Every structure is written in structure tokens, then in C-alpha cells.
Amino acid sequence: MAFLNVDQINKHFINERKEEINALSDLTFLCHDGEFLCLLGPTGCGKTTILRIISGLEQPDNGQVLVNEQGVHGINQESTLVFQQYSLFPWRNVIDNIAFGLEMRNINRTKRYARAQEFIDLVGLRGFEKAFPYELSGGMQQRAAIARALAYDKRLILMDEPFGALDERTRHRLQEELLNIWRQQRKTIIFVTHNIDEAIFLADRILIMHDRPGYVENELKIVLPRPRDRKSPDFIKLHIGIREVLEDMLNSG
Amino acid sequence: MILPVIILLIWEYYAVKFNNPALLPRVEMVFDRLIHPFDNLLNTGNFVRHIFVSATRVIFGFLLAAIVGIPLGLLAGRYLLFHRLFNPIIEILRPLCPIAWIPFALAIFKTYTVTNVFGVRYSTSIFEHIQLGMLFVIFYGGFFPIFINTIHGVSSVKNSYVESALVLGATHGQLFRKIILPSSLPAILTGLKVGLGVSWMVIIAAEMMPGSDAGIGYLIMFSYELAEMDILMASMIIIGVVGTILSGIVKVAADQTSFWQAKER
């Protein structure tokens, strides 16, 4: 039984020139409990829209999202979303940002600070509890955003290119940390990226997305043992293979 | 500090040259008035009393403007329906200077004070000096900067903050209290600062109108009629100083709550 079931979702937009854009067309896929799923595709192919629909921030034209075979109405109470950047509340310090989800559940300050502190330690932000977002580097801000999502404690974490704005070194380090956290916390993660390398490094399974309309073009199970070595021949072969699929797709489309 | 000294020197030069205190008093005469704030002036009471009366009027009218302006601004900023409802009235009323309302307010409210409304009969009560007409124009002057800045603050709350809060389980009420309000607080405080400044200007004008019996604006008009230019100029200096102090107080509050905004990327 699938944990998450995205069932024949259609979504269109009207752009500024009053043209109809078919963002998602009969999009269907499953995600298993505890799985690390990557959605890979060119920028602007509706990947963000998928996450927004799963989280309940947007409604599909038709089709439905099922969690444990229950339809999602309004905001999805089983998931949370990590945005690409600048989603920390600038008027709150790090610990109050991370404890935000607990505060919304009316958990008292002592308890939520204790809980938030665990995740601050987990993402390596100890000592920055009282710092404000503007005092943090981009990488530290995304660590805090991830900690905030973890502290909210939902099975499913949706991530929309969370490392997209970071430099390569920081990105690689955060990828490793994310994998550790994922294993330790037993979360289900749906991770959107346009970076092939990132998808191979992280995913149990990669869904290669078709662009406009968006649907799953190709599905790929990554069986390489972790920690994955970017320089290993298998990794490189996968990288080349996926690149060809993407290029074919772009040329034919 | 060089410019004020030059102005004082020019002032003193012409005061000595004219040698006519009913036209231009000497600097030391005005200064002498300022360092004796408790001296009775022209049988109307002292400076402190007049400042107190003016400040009380402004504070009451301004609080009223804030109490009405902030909630209405929050509604109009958040809900298009309210925005559409208020917008046409606001666009017509906004260019209408509050001072233009003073004669109208005098005609409608005459010299009724807060005391009359509540039927209290204390002859010493400060409320006796808060004329409804003055309250109305101060309210009017303070309302628009507060209202319009609040709308601006609410409608420019970043969507990513709202959506982050929603996916972290915020309810509608929590969204308002924990995101919309703190995020628009710097803009609201800007509105309060401007509104307080306008209120202070308007009250001086209102106090110069007939029917007024106290306040720093009244003192200016009365000392003009008696050609007591030293009192008149001392009053003007006091208006400037009090205005600076008032906006300084709001600025301190604003800086404490908006520190994050200047540094936000």
C-alpha cells in the first residue's frame, strides 16, 4: 500500500498574456512510506506546482491526492513544505522560527524550546538560537528551514529545491546531512530538483518529469549503496543516462 | 549646531535694530519666557498647563484614530471586499486637508466637550478642555496616515511567509496574529509616527479658532492679539520641541520592532 498517492492530477494556469498553460496533465505517481523520492526535470516544468498541490496550498483542476488512502482537503495535515529560500520569518530568531509549528499547536514555551533545541543541534546550529535570519548565511538559513520542518514532526516532508541557491560545497554538505537526518528520523521525503547529480546522490527513486504538460516521463530506481560516490563509474553512467533522457525529451518537445 | 547659532544671531541683530518688542522681541526675552514655564501668562495659566491641554487633546484624538485606523487598515489590506468598500471614500477624503474640516467641526460640535457628552460636572477636569470638534479634526488628521500605512503593510506581507505558516499548521487566527500583524508592524508604526505629527499640527490650528480657551495654539493667538511677541515666539519653539519629542517616542518603539526589516534581503 502506498503512503502517498497522486492520482491523475490536472492543473492549468492563465499567464499574463492570457494564454492557457497546461502545467500538469494526468500526473500520477506513488510514494512509499519512508521513501526518498526525487522529482527531476527542467526548471519551470511544474515541479513546484506538484508540491504545492500535495501540501494543499493549491487545488488541482481535477484528480486527487491521497495520504493513506484518505483524500486531502485544504492544507495537508500529514505534510510540511521546505521552500527554496527566504521563508524564515525575519522578525523571529532561530529558535522561535524552528518552534513555530509547535507554537501553532499551543505547546508551551519550555516544551517547544526543548524540542526545537534537539533539531537545532541536529542541523548544527547550536549557538545560533538567538540569532535572526538576516545574521545567517544562506546555508545556515536553509538548515534552520529544514529544522523548522522537522520540528513540526510530520511523516511527509516536501522540499522545493531547498539547496538550489547555495554554492556547491555547501550544497554537498547539506545533502549528506539531509540523508543522515532522513535515516535517523524515518521521514518520507519528496525532493524537487533540476540537478541530476543531486537527484542521483539523494534518491531511492527518481521520477523524470516531462515539461508542459507535466507528467512522469520516466521512472528510475537508484540502487547504488549509500554513501554514494560521485566519482564512481556507476554514478557517472547513471548521470550520462539521465542526461540523455532529458535531452531527448527537450529535443522532441 | 552652526546654523541655529547663525539664525539666532540674525534674529538678535534685527531685534536690536528694530528695537520694538511688539514686532520682534530679543532672543533673551523669549529665552526668559522659556526658562519660566510656570509663570502665569496673560492670566491664562502657564506654559506647562497649555502644553498639557494641547497634548491631552492630541493623545485622545490620536488614540481614537489608531483604534479605528489599525483594525480597518488590517481588514482593508487583507480582504479585497473591504478595500473596494473603503477605497472610493478614502480617495475623495484624503486630499481634503484636516484643517479644512475645522470650521465644519465647529459648526457641528460647537463648543461641546467630552465632559458635556458624559454629563460629568467637574470644573477642574481635563476633559472639560477636550472639545469634540477638536477631537474630530485630530482624529481625521491622524486617521489617514495610520489607515493607509496599515493597508500598505498588510498587503505587502510576503506570500512565502503566509504559505510557510500555513504548511506549519497555522490557523486563520494564528496567521493574523503571528504573521500578518508582526510582518506589517513596521509599516503600522510609520503610520502612527506620521499620524501623530499631523495630529500635532492640526491641534495648533484648531486651537486658534474661536471658542478655544486653552492650549498652546490658543496662547499663540491670544498673545498675538495683545502683541506679546515674546510669548508667541516662545510658544512656537515649544510646539517644535514637543513635536520632536512625540515623534521621538514613536521612533524608539518603531526601531525596536522593525530592526529586522532594514536588514532583510
In this prediction, residue B84 has a pLDDT band, given cuts at 50, 70 and 90, of confident
In this prediction, residue B124 has a pLDDT band, given cuts at 50, 70 and 90, of low
Query: Cell for B73?
Result: 487598515
Can you give the pLDDT at residue A1? 61
Closest-CA distance, A103 to chain B, in angstroms, reads 9
All residues of chain B having their beta carbon less than 8 Å from the beta carbon of residue A57 are 163, 166-167
The CATH number linked to A153 is: 3.40.50.300
Q: Is the pTM of the predicted complex or chain greater than 0.80?
A: yes
Strands A4-14 and A20-31, by their bridges, are antiparallel
- Across the A/B interface, how many CB contacts are shorter than 8 Å? 69
Can you give the pLDDT at residue B63? 93
DSSP string, B148-165: HHHHHHHHTS-HHHHHHH
pLDDT per residue, tens digit, chain A (253 aa), is 688 999 998 998 888 888 888 888 899 999 999 999 999 988 766 888 999 999 999 999 999 999 988 888 889 888 999 998 889 999 999 999 999 999 999 999 999 999 999 899 888 899 999 999 999 998 899 999 999 998 998 999 999 999 988 888 888 988 998 999 899 888 999 999 999 999 999 999 999 998 878 888 889 999 998 889 999 999 999 999 999 988 888 787 5
Q: Which residue type does A97 have?
A: N
Closest-CA distance, A104 to chain B, in angstroms, reads 6
Position B47 in a domain: yes
All residues of chain B having their beta carbon less than 8 Å from the beta carbon of residue A157 are none
Q: What total number of domains does chain A contain?
A: 1
pLDDT in tens, B209-235: 877 788 888 888 888 888 888 888 988
Position B66 in a domain: yes
pLDDT in tens, B155-167: 989 999 999 999 9
Can you give the pLDDT at residue B21? 82
Position B203 in a domain: yes
Closest-CA distance, A76 to chain B, in angstroms, reads 8
**A156: closest chain B residue by CA:** B167
B231: phi then psi, degrees, rounded to nearest 5: -65, -40
Position A236 in a domain: no
With a pLDDT cut of 70, the percent of chain B lying above it is 95
Assess contact for A12 and A21: CB atoms under 8 A.
yes
In this prediction, residue B122 has a pLDDT band, given cuts at 50, 70 and 90, of low
Q: Do B160 and A55 touch (CB under 8 A)?
A: no
- Name the strand (E) or helix (H) holding A182: helix A168-185
Assess contact for B180 and B157: CB atoms under 8 A.
yes
Distance CA B174, CA B247 (A): 31
Q: Do B167 and A81 touch (CB under 8 A)?
A: yes
Instruction: State the helix-helix crossing angle for B181-207 and B102-109, rounded to 10 degrees.
Output: 80
In this prediction, residue B146 has a pLDDT band, given cuts at 50, 70 and 90, of very high
Query: Cell for B17?
Result: 535694530
Distance CA A99, CA B262 (A): 24
Position A228 in a domain: no
Mutation target among B160, B168, B178, B188 for the A interface, most CBs of A within 10 A: B168
Position A29 in a domain: yes
All residues of chain A having their beta carbon less than 8 Å from the beta carbon of residue B163 are 57, 81, 83, 87
Residue B189 structural domain: 40-264
Can you give the pLDDT at residue B223? 86
Number of H helices, E strands in chain B: 13, 0
Hunting for cell 454629563 — which residue is that? Answer: B119
Can you give the pLDDT at residue B123? 55
Q: Which of B169, B260, B265 sits opposite A104 (nearest CB)?
A: B169
In this prediction, residue B112 has a pLDDT band, given cuts at 50, 70 and 90, of confident
pLDDT in tens, B6-61: 999 999 999 888 888 888 888 888 888 888 777 777 878 888 888 888 988 899 99
All residues of chain B having their beta carbon less than 8 Å from the beta carbon of residue A100 are 165, 168, 178
Position A153 in a domain: yes
Query: Cell for B236?
Result: 512656537
Assess contact for B167 and A55: CB atoms under 8 A.
yes
Q: Do B260 and A90 touch (CB under 8 A)?
A: yes
DSSP annotation of B131 reads B
Query: Cell for B14?
Result: 534685527
Q: What total number of domains does chain B contain?
A: 1
**A91: closest chain B residue by CA:** B260
Distance of CA B133 to the CA centre of its chain: 15
Residue A88 structural domain: 2-46+57-187+206-212
Position B178 in a domain: yes
Q: Residue A96: helix, strand or coil by DSSP?
A: helix
Can you give the pLDDT at residue A210? 86
The CATH number linked to B106 is: 1.10.3720.10
Position A220 in a domain: no
Q: Order the strands of the A4-14 sheet from edge to edge.
A: A20-31, A4-14, A62-67, A70-71
Cβ neighbours of residue B199 closer than 8 Å, sequence gap 6 or more: B58, B61, B62, B65, B138, B141, B142
Position B234 in a domain: yes
Position B139 in a domain: yes
**A96: closest chain B residue by CA:** B178
Task: Compute the average pLDDT of residues B71-92.
Answer: 86
Name which residue leads in pLDDT, B187 or B36: B187
Name which residue leads in pLDDT, B113 or A228: A228
Side-chain-facing half-sphere of B115: CA atoms under 13 Å? 14
Position A251 in a domain: no
All residues of chain B having their beta carbon less than 8 Å from the beta carbon of residue A80 are 167-168
Sign of CA dihedral A126, A127, A131, A134: negative
Side-chain-facing half-sphere of A117: CA atoms under 13 Å? 7
